Structure 1
Amino acid sequence: MSAPMSFAVMAGDWLFLALAVLALLVEVWAFADVLRRSPQAFERVGGRPKSFWLLLTGIAVVVGVLSVLTSRGGLGLFGLAAVCVASVYLAGTRPDLDFYGGRR
């Protein structure tokens, strides 16, 4: 393999690792936000219960950690699903919880 080609492969690996770390940060943020909320806040919003979001965002964090720790660091299908779950919580449920005063 020529030097420019090996550099391109190495740069791609670092890019995938950086994206996996960024996705993990989003997943940890969502999980920490769910932990800080009271179960009553989720009931006031009328959406899914706190246990549902704890389970989904917890699984997302585990998948995110595995994505970062694997060789080459790519997200893969499960990593994409995990960051989507965290993003759905942060973009959909979290603003509703903030609106109805969902902090402990």
Structure 2
Amino acid sequence: MAEISGTRVLLVEDEGLVALMIEDMLEELGLKVIASAAHVSKACELATKTSFDLALLDVNLAGELVFPVARILRNRKIPFLFSTGYGGPPLEQEFREAPAIVSRSRSTN
């Protein structure tokens, strides 16, 4: 298993409490969240100008899809993975093979 301690992470998540929870979990694993964004425009700026080793990208940011950020990361050759709380990841064809963390919501019906 590769050593992950000290890995610098860009976190892209629009739900504040979820972002804090993820940041805590990543730091417990020894990773360091060096920047975070809740909107695609800010995430694109960070993805372009910031130095980090890995990115965790929420697929849907307040109704806006995160794929422009993923394209920047792919061009910079920075690994990333998607996260989504909407069941199966609604990934565009070009990202169907990208790793994704999927949380399936339970129905209350």
Name the TM-score class by shorter chain.
under 0.3
Higher RCO (CA < 8 A, seq sep 6+): 1
TM-score normalised by length of structure 1: 0.25
- Radius of gyration: which is bigger? 1
Structure ranking higher in strand proportion: 2
